[in-house]
Amino acid sequence: MSGLIVERHGPVLLLVIDREARRNALDAATSAAIDRQIGAAEADESIGAIIITGSGDRAFCSGMDMKEAAEIGVGHGLIPGHGFAGITERRRTKPLIAAVNGFAVAGGFEIALACDIIIAADHAMFGLSEVKRGLFAFAGGVQRLARQVPRSAAMSIIMTGEPVPAARMYELGVVSEVVPADQLRQRALDLAQAMLQNSWEAIRNGKLLYEMAADMPVEQGLRYGAAFGRATLQSADSREGIAAFSEGRDANFDRI
């Protein structure tokens, strides 16, 4: 598949942006290919989690392919209803992990911010460089920084367009882990595999409740949590998890 490598690692789908010569900038075709793969993964009950990363060690994704944009116009990597690369506006039920292997700038940073977990190589850099091109990060970068990062730090990222090291993003809570570059992809796979040893239903419900609660007052979030909790307490996975604990064995959850 031009521009994208797709691998299966058991229940984990690995997507590798493979445009290293363009610093893994996304042309319209690769953006559409990522969108299709994520849509297929959402419909595939044997896939529990998705990882996205880039080829090489220079860039995770440098955003929109500016050479293509100069030829055919900007915005062709935006998928209607799903956003840039089919990720930045999409509502997903399955965890998406960004393994940031180099520069994640402009739309590349927006993709990472839209993921559920970001793991970064120790040399990775993050930035919203759109202001240097007469644009701004409207596809989720500004909006997500506003929710995740203190105002002064966010404004500096948004207004200067300068790259920020992975270590600083870890301090700000945007990145969950910083690891040596040669361990990055394996660490992301290990995390996904460890995650999927748990109840997939509980993972989906926890993710959904978090996203709902982020948009509502805490009292309303607690009411939704109580409703989720009542259903969870009656679930087959809950019964299996409690029984496994009582019997001193690993739980055998339903993976579908």
Look at strands 164-165 and 177-179 and give their pairing: unpaired
Given a contact cutoff of 8 angstroms between Cβ atoms, the answer to whether 47 and 15 are in contact is: no
pLDDT (tens digit, 9 = 90+) per residue, 175-232?
A: 999 999 999 999 999 999 999 999 998 899 889 888 888 878 888 888 878 887 777 8
- pLDDT for 189: 98
Alpha carbons 226 and 231: distance in angstroms, whole number? 9
pLDDT (tens digit, 9 = 90+) per residue, 31-46?
A: 999 999 999 999 999 9
Given a contact cutoff of 8 angstroms between Cβ atoms, the answer to whether 78 and 139 are in contact is: yes
Residue 77 has pLDDT above 90, yes or no: no
- pLDDT for 66: 79
pLDDT (tens digit, 9 = 90+) per residue, 234-250?
A: 788 888 888 888 888 88
Alpha carbons 63 and 250: distance in angstroms, whole number? 43
How far from the centroid of its chain's Cα atoms is residue 2's Cα?
Answer: 22
Indicate which residues carry an active-site annotation.
110, 130
What's the pTM value of the predicted model, to 2 decimals?
Answer: 0.90
- pLDDT for 256: 56
Q: In this predicted structure, which of 20-29, 97-106, 213-222 has the lowest mean pLDDT?
A: 213-222
Mean pLDDT score, 131-145: 79
The tokens for 178 are 């910083």
Given a contact cutoff of 8 angstroms between Cβ atoms, the answer to whether 106 and 64 are in contact is: yes
